[in-house]
Chains A and B, each alone.
Chain A
Amino acid sequence: MAQSGLARSERINGWLFVMPALVLLGLFMIYPIVWSLWMSFQVGKGMNLSFGGFANIQRLTKDPVFIRALINTFTFFIVQVPIMITLALLFAVALNDSTLRFRGLFRTAIFLPCVTSLIAYSTIFKSMFAVDGIINQTLMALHLIASPISWLGDPFWAKVTIIIAITWRWTGYNMIFYLAALQNIDRSIYEAARIDGVPAWARFRYLTIPMLKPVILFTTVVSTIGTLQLFDEVFNLTGGTGGPSDSTVTLSLYIYNLTFKFMPSFGYSATVSWVIVLVVAILSFLQFLVARDRKVKSS
């Protein structure tokens, strides 16, 4: 049956409305994504590229810097994300208490780091964590350490410094999500539990956490993606080297170095980029799998 004129004109109008967005999306998102996938199979230096099949993937397995970067990235992810999520949750619960004074002040103070300038804060962190910086001086004054720690000069402490920096910056951001979710929970649920004699720790463990599960999943996935793409803090705190001796180099920093600092090898850096995509996809899938709702039993 022939379409009526009205339906036809609505269809054309509809396409006209979405067309600008589609063109821009295609041009700036889909095209680069497809092109980078194509690039990841190219070998060669600079502009001198040729199709290399799986050569780049083979190179990955034998590249010590890549393996180091992969391990570093995972270390940051495994240590930092749980610490930050737990801290954010504890802060949120503490700051949701209506009897706490200066709540607004505390909330703002904890949220502020994520809106501060990246360069400003990493510069300050760099000076704070210098060998003669305020952190070492304080720790020594408190007699917690006998001699200064070489925060950014030691492979282990450099990682710790970076974890402290990103935790400082992003905890408040995650806390805001929890605060919003907590305010949606019916207060009488907690009152009922209190009257029934459920202790405070159990109210947190068995009521708050399960009821926040969707938000915890969301923040975990977002933080995972953020940590796997970690670049800025490492670049700024280590002067772009990922040092000492590649001990803090991350996948993103390695991609940057491959593309812009070493002899450019665009094809190989595209391959490393796709590794991040793959890892993020797998981890997000696993997180959804772990957090999925219990199957509702049909009785």
Chain B
Amino acid sequence: MSGLKLRNVKKSFGSVNVIKGVDLDIEDKQFVVFVGPSGCGKSTLLRMIAGLEQISSGDLFIGDKRMNDVDPANRGIAMVFQSYALYPHMTVRENMGFALKFAGASKEEIAQRVGEAARILELGALLDRFPKQLSGGQRQRVAIGRAIVRHPDVFLFDEPLSNLDAELRVHMRIEIARLHKELQTTIIYVTHDQVEAMTLADKIVVLRDGIIEQAGSPLELYDNPDNLFVAGFIGSPKMNLLDGTAEAGGIRLADFPGQLLPSPVAVPAGTPVTVGIRPEHFDPEGAAALETKVEIIEHLGGETYAYARGEGRTLLTLATDNNRTLKPGDRYQARFHPSALLVFGKDGKRIR
């Protein structure tokens, strides 16, 4: 069991810098999710931890040991791949036991470990099948089983659910959460899906262009984003972001020039700002309001989202407290508590 430390870790392919200096502490038994848009370097960072990519500079510690130049096999890790990477000519049992043969495990020990993994993942009935006879979810479980039998200190998951359909993805997400509870090991998990990140993680690391934008617990990132990127990336539906200017006594939004909104933070007058408010933070009891015109209504049953506009071009997403009588074309007063507003400077940084 062990944590990880990354110190100013960098990676470049030729003259292209992919990871531009990452500092990160991962505690023992923590479930950490790397999340970010495609091309942000999250998979590369994971592969560097695995040892599949060389670290150009900086230090990687797993436990207390510097692992930069240690062979992948000796880092105490196991990895689950997006494509599952099962050996197509071997049965489920052979797939899971294959690597153990080369670690010097006895036949009995292999059988015992495979049996244990099969029990945890409910693969008992499938042990003599070949990968091509399994469904996507079953293959994913075999890939996880192959990782479990090695009793690693750290599990690495590289977008493990991307190839599954939506329903199965939710199911496997719960399975993985359960697995983390049962195995009590460190897990590093890469995904581009912020819902997966929110639901699974103890700690989310948001990456963009090879740097960490923010790292913290899911709710910390949701409630208290450091910058515009994290604010826009975490949360579904996305946060509404509106441009405006600070004035004495409040903020005036470009799309709602007739109103002066009370600002939750002190901003010098004349400063251009971006104001963020989450769709679900609109509240009929709120003290402040925006006058909007509804354009589109989405009924989800439990909630009704309205897409509405002020005088500008920005389409706001509003949770309406399940107001089922709203129709497109209606005027709608989007009320909210001024404290729910997040204010960002022109550089994208949060003004607190």
Contact = CB atoms under 8 A, between A and B. Distances in A.
A188 B85 contact: yes
For chain B, the bracket of interface size reads 20 to 34
A237 to B, nearest CB: 41
B190 to A, nearest CB: 13
A196 B79 CA distance: 8
A195 B150 CA distance: 10
Contact of A189 (B50, B51, B85, B130): B85
A90 to B, nearest CB: 20
B26 interface: no
A188 B99 contact: no
Interface size class of A (residues with CB under 8 A): 20 to 34
Interface stretch (B121-129, B175-183, B311-319): B121-129
Interface in B127-183: 127-130, 133, 146, 150
Contact of B72 (A195, A206, A210, A297): A195
A211 B88 contact: yes
A107 B282 CA distance: 65
Q: Chain A's interface: helix, strand, loop or mixed, by majority?
A: helix
Tell me whether chain B's interface is mostly helix, strand or loop, or mixed.
loop
B220 to A, nearest CB: 32
A198 interface: yes
B89 A198 contact: no
Nearest to B73: A197
Interface in B71-99: 72-74, 77-79, 81-83, 85-89, 91, 98-99
Interface in A186-242: 186, 188-189, 191-199, 202, 206-207, 210-211, 213
A109 interface: no
Interface of B: 50-52, 72-74, 77-79, 81-83, 85-89, 91, 98-99, 102-103, 125-130, 133, 146, 150
Q: Which 7 A-B pairs have the closest CB atoms?
A: A196-B99, A197-B73, A188-B85, A192-B85, A188-B81, A210-B89, A299-B128
21 contacts: A186-B83, A186-B85, A188-B82, A189-B85, A189-B87, A192-B79, A193-B87, A194-B52, A195-B52, A195-B73, A195-B79, A196-B98, A196-B99, A196-B146, A197-B103, A211-B88, A213-B89, A296-B129, A299-B125, A299-B128, A299-B129
Interface of A: 186, 188-189, 191-199, 202, 206-207, 210-211, 213, 296-297, 299
